[in-house]
Structure 1
């Protein structure tokens, strides 16, 4: 069962009552040490030297001043100084735990002067002992209060840094999810849009082509829904490992399915592979797959009468992915402004993915016509081992 932490005011009330009781008891036994017996004035001054401490968190300097004045009055009447010291000590600690070191040292000097004053007006106290005790107690109290203040400041700074890091992680995760949603929706909806236009165009003249287009629309929309469900499942799933194992991310092995959908959309695509095919880190393969997907989707949306080529080149330490087309512009006859300027959500997503995995990407028109996307991703000998460890 979890215990509740007492509220600060309740805790300070209990501490104040305990200190006041101890001070009264010390004042009562001071007679045995040769000090005057407590009277009504002494009890009132002892109360004023301790009871205000209950408000020390709300007004530390005011409380410190009140208890010091009450203590000086108590000492001036000739009573035992020790009985009035507890409240002022706690007040000094509170000031040091809230205010700067300069203010704390100033209050410590006031308290030290009060102790020296007690030694001066009393013949029974040794000045050497009084001064040494005053300096020692004030030093310990200021040092302890300063440590408490710095600890709170560090705790606040840590909480602020954690909150900021959490906001950055949330923003990064939102960006990743937005890229995934864009990749899924943009590609599949582009295929559906092209096939729907084709079906409407040949609806009355070519029933077979219409049925084929409707079948592609059905399959593509089903795949889009399945990928959206997978992304939503990842969002709801706390155990990312379990979510990934239940729905693996696309890899370069899925390129054939992607190219098939693009060909069905009316864009002939050729795939060529150079070098020795080998397993790469899952993130590298996902990055390469998404860039190919986005580039071919742009070909499908923005070009006409075009052929596309996808080339994978496996180097010793890097993977190069090139997607080119020989299109003559978008379906309105011009290259989109977002593509010319290097903007657009898809192109930004490609650049962010490449940057995330330490790669480079270039996007732009080709001198001989058409458009080219070239992605270079670093690989390492640990890529296969990383993938094996994730699939164990």
Structure 2
């Protein structure tokens, strides 16, 4: 459609939307037959009869009719020139006038409206004037006026054809644009659902797998020297394994259900009220956690509370996976009406880069942004710091 608009603006012609087939050649055959028929008929009135060389001139438009779709103005010009030449020879040739009528239709159907009005009007005026020559100066002879009327009607029909073609093109373009919009919307929804699934999978499973892996390392290193420590680590592995199996089952239920209410009921909604349980799990896995929680923190909405819990879970998981020294510090405090969560742990350079660019932080940023919070990471003096700001329920409407 864009190419069609460019073609019309730069050439003044409207491209045809008709598919190639028998219709166009058949139309040319009919037009040629009409020109020849009206050119050779034995009219009783001598003014309509073209003989000898004049008959050849009268039939000359037959040669340009097949190109009327590509060059309509040129076809109209040739047909009009033949009409004028024969008229000055004293003959009003119906064959050339039919050719002018056919060409006028093509001009109106395949050029812009202003161009069509100019050329069709000029053709009608020329025929009106030159017809008076073989009719002995009678401008309003009905025999000439009928051909002028044919030209005007043909121009109107051509304009209607062009308008219909443009309407069909516009409707088709709108339909295609709507279809593309539906496809883009479907792709967007699929992409959003994939991101949601990846985020839920990470939130539900990743930190449990991390606890299992690290507990397995503790059990392996303590098996001989400290069997009670190994036993404790194996207990943690068993507990985390059960949790991850339950989480995976819940996630499968989320993916299989089609009811939005069921999805909300199945979705995990742990909040800061379960912070002690979260810290104990990482402590049991060998991570030394120092917690500083400022008293009197404003309450959070359920969504913000869940986002805060996930932020601490992600920070502790990263500290356990990428940190050095098996120690981390968690700080929870109020800041200008918001809740500021900070998880700090010592880390090496490569590990800090891995922690800052992981999929978990990407999903965390999306979850925190959904409650109008923000996530920042900072590496300074051998420490990696995760800083999460979440609006409180009182400050959420600011």
TM-score band by shorter chain is: 0.5 to 0.7
Post-superposition Cα deviations, 1:251-294, rounded to whole Å, max 9, x if no partner, equal 33332322121111122322514443423151x33332222111
How far apart are the structure 2 equivalents of 1:382 and 1:150? 50
Q: Is residue 318–residue 378 contact of structure 1 (8 Å, CA) maintained in 2? A: yes
SS at 1:313 equivalent:
strand
Higher mean C-alpha displacement, 271-280 vs 186-195: 271-280
Q: Does 1:232 align with 2:252?
A: yes
5+ unaligned residues in a row in structure 2: which ranges?
1-16, 42-68, 70-105, 132-141
5+ unaligned residues in a row in structure 1: which ranges?
1-55, 80-91, 93-100, 385-392
Q: Does 1:376 align with 2:380?
A: no
CA drift at 1:192:
0.9
User: 1:293 maps to what in 2?
Assistant: 313
* Cα 1:274/1:70, change in 2 over 3 Å: farther
Matches within 5 A, 1:1-392: 58-59=19-20, 63-74=23-34, 76-78=36-38, 104-106=109-111, 123=143, 126-127=146-147, 129-269=149-289, 270=291, 272-282=293-303, 284-314=304-334, 317-325=337-345, 327=346, 329=347, 334-337=348-351, 339=353, 342-367=356-381, 370-379=383-392
Higher mean C-alpha displacement, 229-238 vs 128-137: 128-137
CA drift at 1:67:
0.9
SS at 1:77 equivalent:
helix
* Cα 1:263/1:280, change in 2 over 3 Å: same
Higher mean C-alpha displacement, 220-229 vs 242-251: 242-251
* Cα 1:318/1:144, change in 2 over 3 Å: farther
How far apart are the structure 2 equivalents of 1:375 and 1:207? 39
* Cα 1:290/1:274, change in 2 over 3 Å: same
Q: Is residue 202–residue 210 contact of structure 1 (8 Å, CA) maintained in 2? A: yes
SS at 1:319 equivalent:
strand
Q: Give 1 or 2 for the bigger CA radius of gyration.
A: 2
CA drift at 1:372:
1.6
* Cα 1:372/1:306, change in 2 over 3 Å: same
Q: Is residue 298–residue 392 contact of structure 2 (8 Å, CA) maintained in 1? A: no
Q: Is residue 324–residue 372 contact of structure 1 (8 Å, CA) maintained in 2? A: yes
How far apart are the structure 2 equivalents of 1:77 and 1:298? 92
How far apart are the structure 2 equivalents of 1:181 and 1:340? 19
Post-superposition Cα deviations, 1:174-203, rounded to whole Å, max 9, x if no partner, equal 233223323333311111122222223333
Q: TM-score, normalised by structure 1?
A: 0.63
Q: Is residue 192–residue 220 contact of structure 1 (8 Å, CA) maintained in 2? A: yes
CA drift at 1:338:
5.3
Q: TM-score, normalised by structure 2?
A: 0.62
CA drift at 1:215:
2.0
CA drift at 1:323:
1.3
Q: CA RMSD in A?
A: 3.9
* Cα 1:136/1:102, change in 2 over 3 Å: closer
Higher mean C-alpha displacement, 145-154 vs 342-351: 342-351
Post-superposition Cα deviations, 1:128-173, rounded to whole Å, max 9, x if no partner, equal 5434432332222211221111111122122223323332332233
Residue correspondences, number: 297
SS at 1:373 equivalent:
strand
